[in-house]
Amino acid sequence: MSAEALLALLVVVLLADFGLTWVARWLQLRHQPATPPEELAGVVDAAAYARGRAYAMAKARLGFVEALVTLALWLTLIVTGTLAAVHGALADATGGGWWTTLLFLGGVALAFDLVGLPFAIARTFGIEARFGFNTTTVATFVRDRLTGYALAIVLGGGLLALLLASIDAWGTAFWLPYAALAAVVVVLLATFQTSVLLPLFNKLTPLPDGELRHAIADYVRGAGFRLENTYVMDGSKRSTKAGAFFSGLGRQKKVVLLDTLVERHPPDEVVAVVAHEVGHARLRHLPWLLLGNVASVTLTLFFLSLVVDSAALSRALGADGRVLALNLLAFGLLFTPVTTAIGVLLNALSRRFEVQADAFAARSHSPAAMIATLRRLSHDALADPTAHPLYAWLFLTHPAPVDRIRAIAAGADEPTTPARGAAPV
Ligand SMILES: [Zn+2]
C-alpha cells in the first residue's frame, strides 16, 4: 500500500472507531426504560432512577468532549506530519537509537495523558462529587497519578525496551519469543496483582473477626473450597461505590471485598458476593480469561511483525523512510478494528462467566441473597439497569443488573440478552 493510501486508511479508522463508540453510547442512553424496571422495584424509586439517568447523561457528555478533543489531536498530529517532525528533532538531539524511541513514545503517551487530565479532574471532582460518589482527596488524586506514571515507566518502559531489543535481535521473527515473554508477564501480573501492585494504591487488611467472617467461613467450608483469606480493601478512600473481586492463581487466590460493600450490605448479601467470587475460582474463569489475553497479545504481535519494517507506514506519518517508533504508533491506530473485535469476544466470554458465577452463588448460597445484592449495588451505583446489545458487545464485561437478576430468577446459566453491571462483582 502507498503512503497516501495508508494515511487515508489511518484517518478512516480513527473516524470509524469514534463513530462506532458514540453510536453505541447514544443507543445505550436511549435504550434505558423511562421508569424503573420491575426487577428493581422497591429499591430504586422514581427519584433515584431519574438521578441515574442524569448521571449517565453527564458522564456521556464529558466523555464525548474528551473523545472529540483526543480525535482532533490525533488527526492533527497525523495529517500535518508533526509526529515525524518531532521524532526527527528528538533523534538529532539524542542520537537516534533506543533512547530516542523510548523518549518519543513516552512523550506521546504523556502528551495524551495531560490532554486527558482536565477531563479526569472534571470526572472525579465534578460529576462523581455532584452525584455523591467521590471521596478522593486532591492528595490521593495526585498520588494515584504519580504512582501510575512510575508504574508506566517501570512496567511499560521495561516491556517496550524488551520489545525493541527483541526486534533488534530477531528482526520480523521477534513476535514469537516476545509473545512467550508477554505470556509470562501476563501470568505473573495476574498472580501477584493483589499482593504486589494493588498495595501501591490501596490498603488491604484481612477481614476482622466477627459475624461476617464466621458466615463466610461457614459458607466456604460448606462449598468445599480452600480460601486462605478474605481481604477488605479501603475503596471508600476514592468512592462510595461498592464492589468485590477475585484475583490470583494457585496459592495466591484471594477474595477482596471493598469496605463500602461490607459496611452497606447485610452479612447474608456479602456472603452471596463471596459465593459469586468463589464461583469464578471454582469454575476456573481466570485461567480462561488469561488464555484469551495471551492469544490476543500473540495475534497482535504477529500482525505487528508484518508492518514493523514498512517504510510506507512511516512515510504515511510524514517521515522520509522507515522509523520504528512511528511504525509502532501507526500500527496501534491501524489495528484498532481488530483490537475492538478481540474485545468483543473477550467481553462476551467475561459476561458468560459472570452469569455462571451468579448461578454458582445462587446454587451454593441463595438466589434471593444474590438478587438482593445486585438490586442494592445497582441502586447505590446509579447503574444503567439494561444494556443495548451493541453497547454490551463493545464495552460490557458484566451483564446489566436486570439481565443478571432475570437469569438468576429463571435459574438459567445464560442471560436472555447480553447487558451491564455496576461495580466489578
Ligand atoms: Zn464476577
What is the full DSSP assignment across 66-83? HHHHHHHHHHHHHHTTHH
C-alpha of residue 83 to centroid of ligand 1, in Å = 41
pLDDT at 424 over 80: no
Burial of 34 (0-12, 13-18, 19+ CB in 10 A): exposed
C-alpha of residue 18 to centroid of ligand 1, in Å = 29
What is the full DSSP assignment across 140-185? HHHHHHHHHHHHIIIIIHHHHHHHHHHHHHHGGGGHHHHHHHHHHH
Instruction: Tell me what the pLDDT averaged over the chain comes to.
Output: 93
C-alpha of residue 423 to centroid of ligand 1, in Å = 9
CA–CA separation, 254 and 231 (whole Å): 7
C-alpha of residue 215 to centroid of ligand 1, in Å = 20
pLDDT confidence bin for 192, thresholds 50/70/90: confident
C-alpha of residue 80 to centroid of ligand 1, in Å = 45
C-alpha of residue 424 to centroid of ligand 1, in Å = 6
Neighbours of 10 (CB within 10 A): 22
C-alpha of residue 358 to centroid of ligand 1, in Å = 8
C-alpha of residue 357 to centroid of ligand 1, in Å = 6
CA–CA separation, 97 and 83 (whole Å): 17
Sheet containing 204-206: order of strands: 204-206, 230-233, 254-258, 244-247
> What residues pack around ion ligand 1 (CB closer than 5 A)?
354, 357
- What integer pLDDT is reported at residue 396 of this predicted model? 97
pLDDT in tens, 204-220: 999 999 999 999 999 99
C-alpha of residue 277 to centroid of ligand 1, in Å = 6
- Please answer whether residues 250 and 191 qualify as being in contact, where contact means their C-beta atoms are separated by less than 8 angstroms: yes
C-alpha of residue 213 to centroid of ligand 1, in Å = 20
Q: Which residue has the higher pLDDT, 252 or 307?
A: 307
CA–CA separation, 356 and 358 (whole Å): 5
pLDDT at 421 over 80: no
pLDDT in tens, 258-296: 999 999 999 999 999 999 999 999 999 999 999 999 999
C-alpha of residue 87 to centroid of ligand 1, in Å = 44
C-alpha of residue 130 to centroid of ligand 1, in Å = 28
C-alpha of residue 246 to centroid of ligand 1, in Å = 8
C-alpha of residue 359 to centroid of ligand 1, in Å = 11
pLDDT in tens, 53-66: 999 999 999 999 99
C-alpha of residue 421 to centroid of ligand 1, in Å = 9
C-alpha to C-alpha distances, 368 to 115, 268, 290, nearest whole angstrom: 46, 10, 31
Q: Which is nearest to 411 in space by CA: 370, 372, 374, 379?
A: 370
CA–CA separation, 75 and 69 (whole Å): 10
C-alpha of residue 311 to centroid of ligand 1, in Å = 45
- What integer pLDDT is reported at residue 250 of this predicted model? 77
**244 — phi, psi (to 5°)?**
-160, 160
- What integer pLDDT is reported at residue 423 of this predicted model? 53
pLDDT in tens, 219-244: 999 988 877 779 999 999 999 999 99
pLDDT in tens, 346-372: 999 999 999 999 999 999 999 999 999
Burial of 321 (0-12, 13-18, 19+ CB in 10 A): exposed
- What integer pLDDT is reported at residue 412 of this predicted model? 55
